[in-house]
Amino acid sequence: MLSILLAIFLPFLAALLIILSSTYQFRHHIGWAVLIVPILLFIYFMRRLFDVADGETFYTTTNWIPSFSIHLSTYLDGLSLLFSLLITGIGTLVILYSIYYMTKDEQLKHFYVYLLLFMGSMLGVVLSDHVIVLYVFWELTSISSFLLIAFWYQRKGSRYGAQKSLIITVFGGFSMFIGFLMLHYVTGTFSIREMLLQADVIKNHDLFIPIILLLLLGAFTKSVQFPFHIWLPDAMEAPTPISAYLHSATMVKAGIYLVARFTPIFGGDMLWFWLVASAGMVTLFWAAFNAIRQTDLKALLAYSTVSQLGLIMSLFGVGSLAYHPDIQLSTVLLTQATFAALFHLVNHSTFKGALFMIVGIIDFQIGTRDLRRLSGLIYFMPISFTIALIGSFSMAGLPPFNGFLSKEMFFTAMLKLTQFDIFSVQAVINLFPVVAWIASVFTFIYSMTLVFETFLGEKKGKVTDETREPPFGMLISPIILASLVIIIFIFPNTLANYVLKPAVGSVYPFVDTNELGKIEHWHGFTAEFWMTVGIIVVGTILFLYRNQFKKAFLFFPYELSIDNVYNHALAYSEKLAKKMTNLYMTGYLRHYFSYIFLFIIIVIGGAFFALHIPFSIGENDQAISTFQWIIAVMIAVTAVTVPMVGSRLSAVLLTGFIGYLMAMNFVLFRAPDLALTQLIVETVSTSLFLLAFYFLPKWDIERAPFKWRNLLIAVSVGFVFTVIALAVNNNRLFESISSYYEKADELAGAKNIVNTILGDFRAFDTMLEAIVLFIAGIGIYALTKYKKAKGAGNVED
Amino acid sequence: MLKINEVILQTVTKVVVFIILTLAIYLFFSGHNAPGGGFIGGLVLASSFVLMLLAYDMETIRKGLPLDFKLVGASGALIVVLTGLGAIVFGEPFLKQAIFSFSLPLYGRVEFSTVTLFEAGVALAVVGVVVTIILSIAEDV
């Protein structure tokens, strides 16, 4: 079963292939080749479907960094299979759609490399059993999302959105990482499955609350829960296929996956319940409310995604109570909430994907997504209208679409919640169904706005008689998604039995998933039914009088928004950082040298005298030979001469001379490698200086007047170094390790110990050094080549 | 650059560059059992280019060495990483080096080692980076 690992890495391999083929010009759209990857993966995961539905799980593990017990362990159960199918299924449709959406003059190779990078890392997130590996993939999704949002990096908005998403999600990801480390500290394992077995240990540990807070910070930032939702609307600068894929169907659901995955540990804890459920509720309400005021169709969809994710999150909060010790009897009612959450998660991917694609089509065909400039499209784009209608009605929770079923289940869960009397603040719990209902009214309004304002009415704005449906290929994916919306409504239990119930089973291993019952289309005249009727009635009235209603938004000016807080915090931290940096970055090399030397004197020298480390001359040492005395004296004399000579050239040559003397000293100590390296480095750096010689200002101008302070620093640093050198020789704390390296010939087959250390024993260091060297070289190249010319304007925009 | 008579320097360079290049290659291969190795070999190689640059102007160097040294450095860093990954393919820990030695008649013990590849990567990285730095500073008039 290594193949799960292969499935994760297949997108990465495909991305590598695209990079390697970078010089080759494809005659056809490169997307056709990329399309193979998600199709293959989708088939692969579908083949596991029946095994997993029977309760089987698949576990594999491969060593990655065994010395830190980091393994590439994968675990496939109902929950990860549900997400894997979403990732690959929606991925297939999105790539098919993007073949028509992205024209060939875009940087398609970049686009698909980023997309595949994302697909692979998202699969990694949902299939990893090892928390560190999960974290790595988690951050990789943030990075690929960053790259995709900034795909049109020429636009200022794209760069802003990309930066915002990266700052917020990486902040959350890092908190989650600390949470993982704490979990490891408590349980002694990195494996999620083994952590789940130790739920009791974690619950009774002092770190329990910090772990909850840190993990939820990761989940909430990724799954755009209030107040971290502000990055998603700005992420809409990405190409529409990306918005449909990352920012509505998959990546933003990673946080939900995390919550679901860790529910067996934290479920039943009241803090976990309150945080997850109330964050979900607030998000649901606030984002639905804000979606109404949007005039950009994609922004509207972004807020609606935020709101729907809040809905799913709150359901997971309710579902987590099934682990509460006091309510074991009626757990089915609570597991039903998780069931509803997963059902809505799938439904949301279908209808929101279809809507995003239709908005993309409108943008592609007409050139605007602004509601105020769109109207009467129904006459020109009837197929798009039908799809948009299906998507919007499903989103609003109307029959006969799948959104209706999961919305009803959501209401059921919220109503049932009020019947448990385990809460200290029952009044707040009673508010839950009310908030859910009001938010659903808002959802109804913006769903109607989306479809009716765009498609009905007289044609106006940019809509002309020449407006047509897009090429048929572009419609395939939304048509498939819209059909799924209806098919799932008709046969919800097929989906439930094979995909949803196994997933519920992995959240609640103790529950028999057959008890969950069937998804019913008709419950009779229940409270849920009247809630839906109420939504339609009130929603329709408010929709018709929406222009009056929208005045309510005047009470929420920009100055009070979280966006404003974010922007100010960012601007302020930039200003502060600049101030701090300007404080010590003076542009004078001599200042930088004095910082370095002062640090050595104060910290190292200070530690030396504070700890009373003894040192002496000549006791344990070999006798100093005459040659060494001569070299030492010569070095000292030359060093004193350097600052006194009259020209820069002589100063440079004299410094080089000191280097050569040092090399001779190495020869006397029988270190030929060191001597050789010293000689060459000295030669190359001296000639480098000669090259730069031409650009330097005149010697007299740059010469600073003599300063006692500098002399003091110079003498002290020399003194500290001498003392260190002597003390190191006198204070052996442990046996020398060099005897191990003397076996170089035997262990590595080489007689040169120095090079064996470099190339074999400590090859990792050498590798990193080579890479660092390369990065430094590229940095210098970039600094000299791309620096701002004198008087040139800002490069940005 | 200063325009002075550089005939002597240029004539000497023409001969000396080849001696330096030979030395560089010698040092690179001798690193296994004697002083030398990838870092030193690479630096010596780079120093020959620096000498050429000091004796001639940029144009000549560009014509004589039509290489993108950024790419040389990048491929060096890549080789270093890839030799490490190569060990993983054979189920060994990352960066584990392998040696193969056998005896040839008349010649004696012959050794092949993946360290040589690794060191070649280091050498290329050093050459690429040093020359990139020098060229970009020298061009920056």
Q: What is the mean pLDDT of chain A?
A: 86
Q: Does A695 sit within 8 Å of B50, measured CB to CB?
A: no
What are the tokens at A543? 């929709």
Residues A514, A390 share a domain: yes
Which residue bears the tokens 């990857």?
A: A37
Average pLDDT over residues A5-19: 89
CA dist., res. B94 & res. A764, Å (int): 9
Q: What are phi and psi of A74, to 5 degrees?
A: -115, 150
Q: Cα–Cα distance between A778 and A440 in angstroms, integer?
A: 54
Decide if B122 and A770 are in contact by the 8 Å CB cutoff.
Answer: yes
* Digit-coded pLDDT (tens) for A319-351: 888 888 776 556 667 788 888 999 999 999 999
What pLDDT is recorded for position A618?
59
Q: Does A684 touch chain B (CB under 8 A)?
A: yes
Indicate the number of domains in chain A: 4
Mean pLDDT (whole number) for A201-218: 91
- Percent helix, strand, coil in chain B, to 5, is 70, 10, 25
Q: Do A441 and A479 belong together in one domain? A: yes
- Interchain pair B125, A773: CB under 8 A: yes
The beta-carbon neighbor of A759 closest among B81, B93, B115 is B115
Domain total of chain B: 1
Interchain pair A763, B84: CB under 8 A: yes
- pLDDT over 90 (residue A173): yes
- Given a cut of 70, whether residue A622 has pLDDT beyond it is no
The answer to whether the CB atoms of A770 and B80 lie below 8 A apart is yes
Please check whether residue B73 lies inside any domain of the structure: yes
- Whether the CB-CB separation of B80 and B119 falls below 8 Å is answered with no
Q: Is A686 on the interface with B (CB under 8 A)?
A: no
Q: Closest chain A residue to B116 measured between Cα atoms? A: A759
Q: Mean pLDDT across the stretch B31-60?
A: 84
Structure tokens at A223: 């799954």
> Which residue in this structure is represented by tokens 């304002």?
A453
Q: Could you tell me which chain B residue has the CA closest to the CA of A754?
A: B35
Q: How far is B65 from chain A (nearest CA, A)?
A: 18
Is residue A622 located within the same domain as residue A661? yes
Q: How many CB atoms lie within 10 A of CB A667?
A: 16
A136 is written with which tokens? Answer: 């790595």
Q: How confident is the model at residue A792 (pLDDT cuts 50, 70, 90)?
A: low
Which residue in A26, A99, A31 sits closest to A471, CA to CA? A99
Q: Is residue B66 part of a domain?
A: yes
- In this prediction, residue A548 carries a pLDDT of 77
Alpha carbons A618 and A788: distance in angstroms, whole number: 56
Contacts of A13 in chain B (CB under 8 A): none
- B77–chain A nearest CA distance, Å: 6
Q: Which pLDDT does position B89 carry in this prediction?
A: 75
DSSP A296: B
Same domain for A661 and A780, yes or no, is no
Q: Which pLDDT belongs to residue A18?
A: 86
Which of B39, B79, B95 is most worth mutating to test chain A (most A CB atoms within 10 A of its CB)?
Answer: B39
Confidence class for position A6, pLDDT limits 50, 70, 90: confident
The beta-carbon neighbor of B118 closest among A754, A763, A778 is A763
Does A530 lie in the same domain as A436? yes
The residue among A200 and A306 whose pLDDT is bigger is A306
User: For the residues A353-380, what does the mean pLDDT come to?
Assistant: 87
Residue finishing a domain among A524, A550, A576: A550
Task: Give me A321's structure tokens.
Answer: 């109570």
- Looking at this predicted complex, what is its ipTM? 0.90
CA–CA–CA angle A315, A230, A385 (5° rounding): 75
Percent of chain A whose pLDDT exceeds 90? 37
Give residue A343's pLDDT.
92
Q: Is pLDDT of A499 > 80?
A: yes
State the nearest Cα–Cα gap between B89 and chain A, in angstroms. 12
Residues of the domain holding A561: 551-585
A688 vs B37, B132, B134: nearest CB: B134
A473 has pLDDT over 80: yes
| A627/A555 same-domain check | no
Q: Do B95 and A785 touch (CB under 8 A)?
A: no
Query: CB-CB: which of A690, A752, A767 is closest to B34?
Result: A752
Residue A286 distance to chain B (closest CA, Å): 49
Residue A125 has pLDDT above 90, yes or no: yes
H or E, element range at B108: strand B108-113
**Residue A123: closest CA among A108, A148, A140, A110:** A140
Last residue of a domain, one of A500, A527, A550: A550
Asked whether the beta carbons of B45 and B29 are under 8 A apart, the reply is: no
Q: Is a pLDDT exceeding 80 seen at residue B100?
A: no
Inform me whether the pLDDT recorded for A770 exceeds 50.
Answer: yes
Residue A312, domain member (yes or no): yes
Question: For every residue of A466-482, which 3-state class applies, written as one string?
Answer: CCCCCCHHHHHHHHHHH
A563-590: per-residue pLDDT in tens? 888 999 999 999 999 999 998 888 888 8
Within a domain: A632: yes
Which stretch of DSSP H or E encloses residue A42?
helix A31-53
Percent of chain A residues topping a pLDDT of 70: 94
Among candidate residues A242, A257, A233, A231, the one with its CA nearest the CA of residue A168: A231
Strands A70-76 and A58-65: antiparallel
- Residues in Cβ contact with A625 at an 8 Å cutoff, skipping those fewer than 6 apart: A668
Classify residue B2: in a domain, yes or no: no
The vertex-B122 CA angle with B118 and B126, nearest 5°, equals 170
Length of chain A, please?
A: 797
Task: Please check whether residue B118 touches A, CB under 8 A.
Answer: yes
Do the Cβ atoms of A492 and A343 come closer than 8 Å? yes
Min distance A776 CA to chain B CA atoms (Å): 8
Whether a cis peptide bond, with omega within 30° of 0, leads into A400 is yes
A763–B37 C-beta distance less than 8 A: no
Q: Do A774 and B76 touch (CB under 8 A)?
A: yes
Of A680, A759, A781, the CB nearest to B97: A759
Neighbours of A224 (CB within 10 A): 31
Could you give the CA distance from residue A340 to residue A343 in angstroms, rounded to a whole number?
A: 5
b/e map of A750-774 (b: 16 or more CB within 10 Å)? bebbbbbbbbbbebeebbebbbebb
Cβ-Cβ contacts under 8 Å for A351 (sequence gap 6 or more): A390, A391, A392, A394, A395, A401, A402, A403, A481, A482, A485
| Residue B111 is assigned to a structural domain of this protein | yes
Residues in chain B, how many? 141
Quick check: is A645 in a domain? yes
pLDDT for residue A611 is more than 70? yes
pLDDT band at residue A621 using 50, 70 and 90 as cut-offs: low
Among residues A205, A142, A226, A227, the alpha carbon closest in space to that of A176 is found at: A142
Query: Which B positions 20-79 lie with beta carbon below 8 A of chain A?
Result: 27, 31-40, 43-44, 46-47, 50-51, 53-54, 70, 73-74, 76-77
The 3-class secondary structure across A574-609, one letter per residue, is HHHHHHHHHHHCCCCHHHHHHHHHHHHHHHHHHHHH
Give Rg (Cα) of chain A: 33
B107: in domain: yes
Between residues B138 and A158, the one the model is more confident about: A158
Residue A784 inside a domain? The answer is yes
B141 CB neighbours in chain A (<8 A) are 694-695
Count of alpha carbons within 13 angstroms of residue A90, beta-carbon side: 34
Q: Which residues of A touch B50 (CB under 8 A)?
A: 684, 687-688, 691
Q: Is B1 a domain residue?
A: no
Each residue's pLDDT tens digit, A428-462: 888 888 999 999 999 999 999 888 888 887 777 67
CA distance B85 to chain A (A): 12
Place of tokens 């000497």: B12
User: Which residues in chain B are contacts of A672 at CB distance < 8 A?
Assistant: 35
The helix (H) or strand (E) run that includes residue A29 is none
pLDDT digits (tens, 9 = 90+) for A268-294: 888 999 999 999 999 999 999 888 888
**A493 and A637 assigned to the same domain:** no
Boundary residue ending a domain (A715, A733, A751) = A733
Residue A734: exposed, middle, or buried by beta-carbon count in 10 A (0-12, 13-18, 19+)?
A: exposed
Band of the pLDDT at A150, cuts 50, 70, 90?
Answer: very high
What was the pLDDT predicted at A1? Answer: 46
pLDDT of residue B93: 74
Instruction: Please tell me the distance in Å from A451's CA to the nearest CA on chain B.
Output: 52
Structural domain of B99: 7-139
B86 in any annotated domain: yes
Search chain A and give the residue with CA nearest B72: A774
State the DSSP code for A69: T
Q: What is the C-alpha to C-alpha distance for residues B21 and B36, in angstroms, rounded to an integer?
A: 14
Instruction: Judge whether residue A797 has pLDDT over 70.
Output: no
- For residue A62, pLDDT beyond 90: no
Residue A295 parent element (H or E):
none
Which residues in chain B are closer than 8 Å to A64, comparing Cβ atoms? none
Question: Quick one: which H or E segment has residue A93?
Answer: helix A78-101
State whether residue B121 sits within 8 Å of chain A by CB: yes
State the average pLDDT over residues A120-138: 93
Cβ atoms A403, A391 nearer than 8 A: no
Q: Rounded to whole angstroms, how far apart are CA atoms A149 and A234?
A: 9
Alpha-carbon torsion (A550, A551, A555, A561), positive or negative: positive
- Same-domain status, A651 and A741: no
Contact (CB<8Å) B40/A767 = no
Average pLDDT over residues B48-70: 82
* A755 lies within 8 A of chain B by CB: yes
Size of interface A-B (CB pairs under 8 A): 150
Nearest chain A Cα distance for residue B68, angstroms: 12
Residue A516 tokens, joined: 């969950």
A76 Cα distance to chain centroid: 22
Examine residue A614 and say whether the peptide bond preceding it is cis (omega within 30 degrees of 0): no
Whether the pLDDT of residue A712 is over 80: the answer is yes
Asked whether the beta carbons of B138 and B128 are under 8 A apart, the reply is no
pLDDT for res A440: 92
B120 close contact with A: CB closer than 8 A: no
Please indicate, yes or no, whether residues A543 and A555 belong to a single structural domain of this protein.
no
pLDDT for A384-394, tens place per residue?
A: 899 999 999 99
Answer yes or no: do A760 and B97 touch at CB < 8 A. Answer: yes
Name which residue leads in pLDDT, A181 or A469.
A181
Per-residue three-class SS string for B67-107: CCHHHHHHHHHHHHHHHHHHHHHCCCCCCCCCEEEEEECCC
Calculate ∠ Cα B43-B48-B53, nearest 5°.
Answer: 120
**What average pLDDT does this structure show over A456-481?**
82
A292 and A350 part of one domain: yes
In DSSP terms, which residues pair with B88 in a beta bridge?
Answer: none
Q: Please state, in angstroms and rounded to a whole number, the distance separating the CA atoms of residues A329 and A350.
A: 35
In this predicted structure, the answer to whether residue B79 has a pLDDT above a threshold of 70 is yes
Single-letter code of the amino acid located at A726? L
According to the per-residue pLDDT averaged within each range, which of A332-341, A704-713, A760-769 is highest?
A760-769
Q: Which residues contact A671 (CB under 8 A, 6 or more apart)?
A: none
User: Does A669 share its domain with A542?
Assistant: no
A557: Cβ–Cβ under 8 A, 6 or more apart, which residues? none
The answer to whether residue A717 is domain-embedded is yes
- Which is higher by pLDDT, A421 or A90? A90
pLDDT given for residue A83 in this prediction: 93
Structure confidence at residue A165 (pLDDT): 93
Per-residue pLDDT reduced to its tens digit, A528-559: 888 888 988 988 888 888 777 777 777 777 77
**In this structure, which amino acid lies at residue A769?**
E
DSSP-based three-state secondary structure for A73:
strand
Q: Is residue B67 part of a domain?
A: yes
Question: What integer is the mean pLDDT of B61-80?
Answer: 87
Asked whether residue A612 falls in the same domain as residue A571, the answer is: no
Work out the average pLDDT over A719-741. Answer: 79
Q: How far apart are CA A87 and CA A90, in angstroms?
A: 6
> Does A233 reside within a domain?
yes
A569 close to A684: Cβ distance less than 8 angstroms: no
Helices marked H in A128-269: 131-149, 156-187, 192-197, 199-203, 208-222, 231-234, 240-244, 254-266
Nearest to A755 among B32, B70, B81 (CB): B32
Contact assessment for residue A387 and residue A482, using Cβ atoms and an 8 Å cutoff: yes
Name which of A474, A231, A233, A235 is nearest A363 in CA terms. Answer: A474
